[in-house]
Amino acid sequence: MSLLSQEVPIELGERSYRIVIGGGLLGDSLTYGALPRANAALIVSNTTVAPLYSSTLKTALAGRYSRILEVHLPDGEEHKNWQSLQLIFDVLLEHGCDRKTVLFALGGGVVGDMTGFAAASYMRGVPFVQVPTTLLSQVDSSVGGKTGINHPLGKNMIGAFYQPLQVICDLDVLATLPAREFSAGLAEVIKYGPIADMDFFDWLERFMDDLLIHDGGALAHAVRRSCEIKAAVVGQDERESGLRAILNFGHTFGHAVEAGMGYGVWLHGEGVSVGMVMAAEMSCRLGLVDSVFVKRLVALIRRAGLPIRAPILDSADNAGRYLQLMRGDKKSEAGEIRFVVINRPGEAVVMSAPDALVREVIDTCCQ
């Protein structure tokens, strides 16, 4: 393993694991030295990532597993469904894979979510390892144990909470990530500042330019600190009953943007970006933060190459359309929309808000 790699321990009792962060990890057989022995491993990837990294991973694992199987799923959120999941089960069963078989998720969030759910469900649970290849999945999917697939009537509606054995964040693979997707990942990195750690926010203001040129040291710090903050939050609320909801800062408005524009038009991180701007605006109007804070957040988001203006979803009744979409979200309860607002910089709370205020925020941010 690279001497420069860093580790984030995720403490979850008997389901504890480590996130390893650094350069050159994916192709180094030492990276996998602590994994349990098994007869077989299955690398799950997609048709975009597999040609870039699958053979490297396979070679690194070759000394450890006598049989290494592969399955390449079609790429894209629209394939995060039962049909793709079934491809994983088919390979496992056609090759008689037993309960010790280790699954490797090589790809972004979609591959990670599907592989995790397949691992949770195959023979009621087999071990799996995350090898996230996007910035978003490195800072977001590495912690939390959320796995699942979409249903025609809703995203991530079918799944499991299931923890990996290990997460390997190889920073070198980010070099092949399109700039737009890299920026989208930065949205989730920026998020951790306002909700939990303004020192990290200060750091991001100082080192945003280094991140944008993929400086290894800056990337390692950003990924590590994001994972640490998420781990601290999730560690207090593994099953998402309360506190964990603060991780959804920017997501209530953001999901409305994603859904309203049609999924895939705006990237998730882009929706979160304008969602954070809107949630900060709401916090300001509630008197919780001042306009200086809002301007700092907006400036940082813009520097990351992300949108700061919310789109018009309906020219006749734009705010009404936003409200309608937010009421239909999975996280709303009995039609009441839950917003994550900044209580003070570095601290978030979840609350509802009167429609009139929400409309003001939407009108301001969509101008």
Q: How far is the CB of 330 from a second copy (least distance, A)?
A: 7
Q: Are 109 and 77 contacting, i.e. CB atoms less than 8 angstroms apart? A: no
Q: How far is the CB of 75 from a second copy (least distance, A)?
A: 23
Is 206 marked active-site?
no
* Nearest CA-CA partner of 192 in 309, 340, 292: 340
Chain Cα centroid distance, residue 268: 9
Q: How far is the CB of 201 from a second copy (least distance, A)?
A: 30
Is 146 marked active-site?
yes
125/214 Cα distance (integer angstroms)? 37
99/86 Cα distance (integer angstroms)? 17
Q: Which of 240, 285, 359, 360 is catalytic?
A: 240
Q: Which of 79, 255, 296, 321 is catalytic?
A: 255
Is 240 marked active-site?
yes
124 vs 206 by CB, closer to a second copy:
124
15 vs 302 by CB, closer to a second copy:
15
Q: Read off the DSSP letter of residue 141.
A: I
Q: How far is the CB of 55 from a second copy (least distance, A)?
A: 27
Which of helix, strand or coil describes residue 348? strand
Q: How far is the CB of 192 from a second copy (least distance, A)?
A: 23
* Nearest CA-CA partner of 164 in 16, 24, 38: 16
* Nearest CA-CA partner of 278 in 258, 300, 303, 249: 249
Is 230 marked active-site?
yes
Q: Which of 79, 244, 296, 321 is catalytic?
A: 244
Residue 334's Cβ-count burial label (10 Å; 0-12, 13-18, 19+) is exposed
7 vs 238 by CB, closer to a second copy:
238
Q: Are 105 and 42 contacting, i.e. CB atoms less than 8 angstroms apart? A: no
Contacting positions for a second copy (CB under 8 A): 39, 82, 86, 89-90, 93-94, 96, 98, 120-125, 146-148, 151, 153-154, 157-161, 239-240, 328, 330, 333-334
User: Which uninterrupted H or E stretch holds 356?
Assistant: helix 355-366
256 vs 362 by CB, closer to a second copy:
256
Is 155 marked active-site?
no
* Nearest CA-CA partner of 303 in 192, 196, 211: 211
103 vs 310 by CB, closer to a second copy:
103
Q: Which of 72, 80, 221, 268 is catalytic?
A: 268
* Nearest CA-CA partner of 132 in 17, 247, 237, 53: 53
Q: Which of 251, 258, 270, 321 is catalytic?
A: 251
Is 214 marked active-site?
no
Q: How far is the CB of 93 from a second copy (least distance, A)?
A: 4
Is 14 marked active-site?
no
113 vs 170 by CB, closer to a second copy:
113
Q: Which of 72, 79, 80, 146 is catalytic?
A: 146
Q: Tokens at residue 143, please? A: 């912690």
Q: Tokens at residue 216, please? A: 């290894």
Q: What are the residue numbers of the active site? A: 124, 146, 188, 230, 240, 244, 248, 251, 255, 268
